[in-house]
Amino acid sequence: MNQYSSMGTETTAPAKVSSASSRLTVILTAAVAALGGAIFGYDTSVISGAMLFLRRDFNLTDVQLEFAVGIALAGALVGAAFAGYSTDRWGRRWTLILTALGFGVFSLLSGLAVGLISFSFARFFVGVCIGVASLTVPLYISEMSPARIRGALVSLNQLAIGTGIGVAYFVDYALASSESWRWMFASAVFPALVLVIGMFFLPESPRWLARNGFREKALENFHRLGRGDEAEAELAEVESTLKEEQEGLGILLRPGFRVAVLVGVGLAIFQQITGINTIIYYSPAILQMSGYPSAKAAILAAAIIGLANIIVAIVAIAVVDRVGRRFMLLLSTAGMAVALALIGIAFRQHWGGTVMLYVVIAYCVAFGIGLGPVMWLLISEIYPTKIRGKAMSLATLSVWGSNWLVAVTFLTLLNRAGPANTFWLYGVISVAAFVFCYLFVPETKGRTLEQIEHHWLHFGEKG
C-alpha cells in the first residue's frame, strides 16, 4: 500500500508549528537535500587528481583516459533521463534516498576497481546517481521553499556542489603523496550515508503530494514547512494550476511553454559548453601545462580554485533573491568571456602557472556568481507542476550530454588546436550565452512557481 493511501480521506486539520521551528525545518530540509549536490560535486571532480595516478596504474592512453573521465558523464545522461519519471512516479524524497544508496555502493566499487573495465562499470553507475541527483535536489528544494527565499535555498545546492568539488580537491591533495587514488573515490561513501539517514526524517514535496491526490498530507507538509495561514491558499493555487494542465509532454509544445523549454535547454547547454568542466576535470593537468612543477603542486592549486568556488557560491546565495536571476546571468557570462580570453592569452604569452591560477579563479568566480547556480535554479522554477520532473529531465539531459561532449573532446582539442585557441573558442561561446540570456531569460525572483507558470501561459496568449 502507498504510504499516503489513507491520507486523502483525512478530515482533521493539520497541526501548526511555531514560526521559528518551521523556518528551521525549511532550512534544514534544503541543507540535508543539498548533500546530494555535495556528493554530485565530489564524484564529478575527484577524478581530476585521481587520474594522474590512475593513468599510470592502468597504463591508459589519452583516448582511454578521456573514456575513464567521460564514462561517469554517460551514466549521468542515463540518470537524468530516468530521474524525471522516478521523481514523478515515486516522489522526490524516495528518489533521493535510493540515489544516496547508489552513491555509496558504486563509489566504494570505484575504489576497489582492478582495471579499466571494472572501474568504468562502477563509475558509470556513479554517473547515473549524479544525473538523478542533479535533477532531483534542486527540484525538491524548489518545491519545498517559499517564494521569497526560494532562490537562496535552491542556490544552496550550488554551494553544496562547489563544496563537494573543493573537498574533492583537498582530499586529492591529502592523498597525493601516498598516491592513494582508491580512497579518493571510496571516501564518498561517508556523505552518502549521511544523506540516506537525513532524508528519512524529511517530508515529501507537498506539490508532489497534491498532484497525486494526497491533499491532507500536502496541507500538513505546507504547515510543517512554515506556510502558516498561507498554507491553504498555496495549496489551492497548486490545485488550480494542476486542473489547467494537460497530461503528458504535449504541454511543452504549447505557445509560451515552448519558450520555457528553449530557455531551460539553452541555459543547460551553455552552462557546459562554455568550458567549466575542463577546469573541474582537468585543472591539475591544465596547471601542469602552464608551469606547475609537480602533480601535488598542481592538485594544491586546484584545491585553491575549489575554495574560490565555495566562497562565490555563498555570495550567490546572499544576492540571488535581491538582484535577480537575469542580472546575475548577464554579469556572469560577460565575466566568463573576459576570463577565457585572458586564459588563452596566458597560454599564448607563457605567463606562467601563478598568473594562470589567477585567471582560472577569475573564470570560476564569474561562472559561480551566475551561470552555475542560476541555471539549476531556473530549470527548477519555470516548468509546470504536473510535468516538472519530466521537463527538468529534458534540461538535465542537455546538461549531461553537453558535459560529456566537452569532457571527451577536451584533450583532443588541446592537441589539435592548442590550449590558447581552445579557451578562446569557449570565450566566443560565452559571448553567445550572454546574447541568449539577454534575449530570452525572464526575471523570476519573488514569484511563486504557479505565478511563473501563469507567466508562460500569458506569454503564449500574447504571442
* The pLDDT of residue 54: 86
pLDDT digits (tens, 9 = 90+) for 324-358: 889 999 999 999 999 999 999 999 998 877 888 89
Mean pLDDT, consecutive 10-residue stretches, the chain (463 aa), reads 42 44 76 89 85 85 83 89 86 94 95 93 95 89 82 83 86 86 92 92 89 87 78 82 62 69 91 87 76 73 82 88 91 97 92 86 93 87 69 84 84 88 95 94 80 69 45
Quick one: DSSP state of residue 408? H
Dist. CA 18–CA 20, nearest whole Å: 6
DSSP reduced 3-state for 387: coil
pTM attached to this predicted model: 0.74
Phi-psi label, residue 307: left if phi above 0, alpha if psi -120 to 50, beta otherwise: alpha
Dist. CA 14–CA 222, nearest whole Å: 9
Residues 6+ apart with CB under 8 A from 182: 111, 112, 113
**How is 210-275 classified by DSSP, letter by letter?**
HHTT-HHHHHHHHHHTT-GGGHHHHHHHHHHHHHHPPSSGGGGGSTTHHHHHHHHHHHHHHHHHTS
* The pLDDT of residue 385: 64
379: which 3 cell numbers?
Answer: 530549470
Dist. CA 7–CA 213, nearest whole Å: 9
User: 324 exposed, middle or buried (CB, 10 Å; 0-12, 13-18, 19+)?
Assistant: middle
Residues 6+ apart with CB under 8 A from 223: 14, 15, 16, 17, 22, 231
Q: Residues 166, 46: contact at Cβ < 8 Å?
A: no
Dist. CA 302–CA 173, nearest whole Å: 9
Q: CA dihedral defined by 460, 461, 462, 463, rounded to 10 degrees?
A: 50
Residues 6+ apart with CB under 8 A from 316: 155, 158, 159, 328, 368, 369, 370, 372, 373, 374
Q: Residues 184, 410: contact at Cβ < 8 Å?
A: no
Give 436's Cβ-side CA count (13 Å radius): 22
Q: What are phi and psi of 34, to 5 degrees?
A: -65, -15
* The pLDDT of residue 407: 78
* The pLDDT of residue 124: 96
Distance of CA 460 to CAs 246, 442, 443, 452, Å? Answer: 15, 14, 17, 13
Dist. CA 129–CA 107, nearest whole Å: 10
- Domain regions of the chain by residue span: 19-202+245-462
Distance of CA 78 to CAs 126, 188, 228, 394, Å? Answer: 11, 21, 40, 11
Residues 6+ apart with CB under 8 A from 264: 378, 379, 382, 383, 391, 392, 394, 395, 398
Dist. CA 62–CA 137, nearest whole Å: 34
Q: Residues 130, 99: contact at Cβ < 8 Å?
A: no
Dist. CA 287–CA 356, nearest whole Å: 7
* The pLDDT of residue 258: 75
Quick one: DSSP state of residue 145? S
* The pLDDT of residue 153: 84
188: which 3 cell numbers?
Answer: 564518498
> What is the CATH class of 19-202+245-462?
mainly alpha
* The pLDDT of residue 17: 42
